[in-house]
Structure 1
Amino acid sequence: MCTDASALVEAIRSLAVRGAPVLGIAGAYGVALAAARGFDVEEAARALEGARPTAVNLSVGVRRAESAYRAALAETGDPTAAATAALAAARALHREDAEASARMAAHGLALLDELLPGGGHRVLTHCNTGSLVSGGEGTAFAVALAAHREGRLRRLWVDETRPLLQGSRLTAYEAARHGMAYTLLTDNAAGSLFAAGEVDAVLVGADRIAADGSVANKVGSYPLAVLARYHHVPFIVVAPLTTVDPGTPDGASIEVEQRPGFEVTELMAPQVPVTGAGAGIPVAPLGTQAHNPAFDVTPPELVTAIVTERGAVSPVTAEALAELCDGLRRTATG
């Protein structure tokens, strides 16, 4: 339980709180918590924003609640009223994310049915994109769940998602809870699955989408996009528009978070948070250096479509993304 912003920062860094949409929600609530407890709101906001650099939703949520706090403070001069405003902004973001999840599920299922007429979809997913990372039922997982409910999901292939196994620990749990037909596979088994013709579509989420349509997502997503292109399988990204960052021009401009090497050199215990070196079972010689990026970047030419709460973009271009984002801004400003 996080009773102050610093505890929330640690929960985010240790992955006890993770997943792009819920990071935005948590960041907003963190600002509201700091305001309610009389802490320095600006200091708390900057610490929260820096907890994980790649996921843009975190900074979106933090800035939204911080802006509400500052506007109310300027208007009333009352810190209590300002804290109430920050909390209202966080709750609004929470509601909007749940609504966006439902709309993404509907748009994503419609796209699947369009691309794969006849139903019986066999979908491969990576990492965890369900209700554990969302105010609603998730992003990519919500689309698969919608297909399941309509009787059009034949099989959900779940990548284990090394090194912290979000697929096997979390996505498999969510699939089992909903009674979905799912099968777990090691990340390096995906290629043979494509070659056997067992994958009809790939559904993944995103932690940041650059203005040109480049997608940063959990490491391992880019190789799936390459496999999908080679095997003529749709590679579909499902994310709310808050994940699109117009201020990041292209994939090369996305800062990719580097995680500690011990996550690779030690087999982590099944629970989160990741507590530090020595917490797991060593699987490499002592002193082994590890390359452990949290994310990789998929260029837009490998992305079949980006599904948002306002519809799907395909082909993925900077112009199409900008049009969607401009539409969202016009709606927000009335």
Structure 2
Amino acid sequence: MAINSAAIRWHDDHLELLDQRRLPAETIWLPIHGSDDAATAIHDMVVRGAPAIGITAAYGLALEAARLGDDASAAALAPAIATLAASRPTAVNLFWALERLQRIASDLSGAALISALKADAQAIHQEDLAANQRMGELGADLLPANASVYTHCNTGALATGGHGTALGIIRTAWSRGNLQQVYAGETRPWLQGSRLTSWELLNDGIPVTLVADSAAGQLMQQGKVQAVIVGADRITANGDTANKIGTYNLAVLARHHGIPFIVAAPLSTLDAELPDGSHIVIEERDASEVRSIQGKTLAPAHCPVYNPAFDVTPAELITAIVTERGVIRAPSTDTLLAHLRG
């Protein structure tokens, strides 16, 4: 069965990923035939966003099993799992998806394993879309009437199985007539805000104004922002949240200006095994991403660079975390545990 979303197309015998490095100038779909292809696409940012990474990893493992054929087994897939797990260390959805498929693989082999992995990869994709739509409804309830909101990075259909997490809330609020304006931070160094979020919102007819990341404080000081809405790549047991670098800055600014700071993420992003944000492994990426943009040099070649892909926002700066199960207000170890227990 074919499953298509804004960034991921499943064709049973292969996967196609929209190359998000090329947007908005070009629309290029890249074929994925196994775990190595999927891991490379995840690492090289062809696909990004924690939910989309998890979905891609699930499909990549299923395709690797299909490539192995009758030899497919849990043991035979172990190298593929290790390769996929190493592709982006911060996004917990990646490990969640791999662990879910590993449980299936433990008791099956050959054709039965291939069929089961493909079916569960498709289920992960479909479940994420449903979760995003539910988060959109719950999160939109938190916004004041006729709100103008600020968002960071890209958390839309491109980053998920469809609709989006933080951008899903924005889409739902717009459909209700409860949204006036979106300010999208450009999100250096990969410019997901300028290249991807503005592209998605403009395609949907949602009013968006692109701003330099450094303009966020000025907007808040001028009273032009009523809420900040972001996604997450990992949320620890106490509510500390890892998200795209620059998120912590926004949380501090929002707290100073008395503005709600809302995190939207599926349950699969909650990592109850880690007690707090100090235990999150933060991916550091190549210096060239900061020294240049799309091949154009911006800094001296020998200039040292610090390039963490994510930062951690302490739970005390977060007004609410929205998952498909509900809203966690004033997140803490107790409220997160109660939420996970349902």
User: Which residue identity lines up with residue 162 of structure 2 in the other structure?
Assistant: G
**In the alignment, is the contact (CA less than 8 A) between 2:37 and 2:60 conserved in 1?**
no
Match of 2:56 among 26, 29, 33: 26
The superposition leaves residues 201-246 of structure 1 with CA deviations (integer Å, 9 ceiling, x where unpaired) of 0000000001110000000000000000000000000000100001
Determine the C-alpha separation between the residues in 2 that align with 1:313 and 1:151: 25
Match of 1:103 among 134, 140, 153: 134
The superposition leaves residues 256-289 of structure 1 with CA deviations (integer Å, 9 ceiling, x where unpaired) of 0001000000122xxxxxxxxxxx1111112111
User: Which residue identity lines up with residue 200 of structure 1 in the other structure?
Assistant: Q
Deviation at 1:71, TM superposition (A): 2.4
User: Which residue identity lines up with residue 265 of structure 1 in the other structure?
Assistant: R
More off after superposition, 237-246 vs 32-41: 32-41
Greater helix content:
1
Determine the C-alpha separation between the residues in 2 that align with 1:61 and 1:142: 21
Question: In structure 1, what is the equivalent of residue 283 of structure 2?
Answer: 257
Match of 1:54 among 83, 90, 93: 90
Instruction: Say which SS state the counterpart of residue 192 (structure 1) adopts.
Output: helix
Which runs of at least 4 in structure 1 moved beyond 3 Å after TM superposition?
Answer: none
Asked if 1:87 is matched to 2:118, the reply is: yes
Determine the C-alpha separation between the residues in 2 that align with 1:11 and 1:136: 19
Q: Which has the higher contact order (CA 8 A, sep 6+)?
A: 1
Determine the C-alpha separation between the residues in 2 that align with 1:53 and 1:326: 26
**In the alignment, is the contact (CA less than 8 A) between 2:183 and 2:211 conserved in 1?**
yes
Deviation at 1:300, TM superposition (A): 0.3
Determine the C-alpha separation between the residues in 2 that align with 1:91 and 1:323: 29
Asked if 1:4 is matched to 2:43, the reply is: no
Asked if 1:176 is matched to 2:202, the reply is: yes
Question: In structure 1, what is the equivalent of residue 341 of structure 2?
Answer: 326
Question: In structure 1, what is the equivalent of residue 218 of structure 2?
Answer: 192
Question: In structure 2, what is the equivalent of residue 272 of structure 1?
Answer: none
Query: For residues 1-334 of structure 1, what are the structure 2 equivalents within 5 Å?
Result: 1-38=31-68, 40-73=76-109, 79-112=110-143, 116=144, 119-268=145-294, 280-327=295-342
Deviation at 1:315, TM superposition (A): 1.2
Q: Which runs of 5+ in 1 are unaligned?
A: 74-78, 269-279, 328-334
The superposition leaves residues 67-93 of structure 1 with CA deviations (integer Å, 9 ceiling, x where unpaired) of 2122233xxxxx111111111111111
Q: Which runs of 5+ in 2 are unaligned?
A: 1-30
User: Which residue identity lines up with residue 170 of structure 1 in the other structure?
Assistant: L
Deviation at 1:326, TM superposition (A): 2.1
The CA RMSD over aligned residues, in Å, is 0.9
The superposition leaves residues 11-45 of structure 1 with CA deviations (integer Å, 9 ceiling, x where unpaired) of 11100011011111111111111111106311101
Determine the C-alpha separation between the residues in 1 that align with 2:66 and 2:335: 40
**In the alignment, is the contact (CA less than 8 A) between 1:70 and 1:82 conserved in 2?**
no
TM-score, length of structure 2 as denominator length = 0.88
Deviation at 1:66, TM superposition (A): 2.2
TM-score, length of structure 1 as denominator length = 0.90
Alignment length (residue pairs): 306
**In the alignment, is the contact (CA less than 8 A) between 1:222 and 1:296 conserved in 2?**
yes
Determine the C-alpha separation between the residues in 1 that align with 2:62 and 2:334: 35
Determine the C-alpha separation between the residues in 2 that align with 1:267 and 1:91: 35
Determine the C-alpha separation between the residues in 1 that align with 2:149 and 2:264: 13
Determine the C-alpha separation between the residues in 1 that align with 2:272 and 2:82: 20
Instruction: Say which SS state the counterpart of residue 122 (structure 1) adopts.
Output: strand
**In the alignment, is the contact (CA less than 8 A) between 1:68 and 1:85 conserved in 2?**
yes
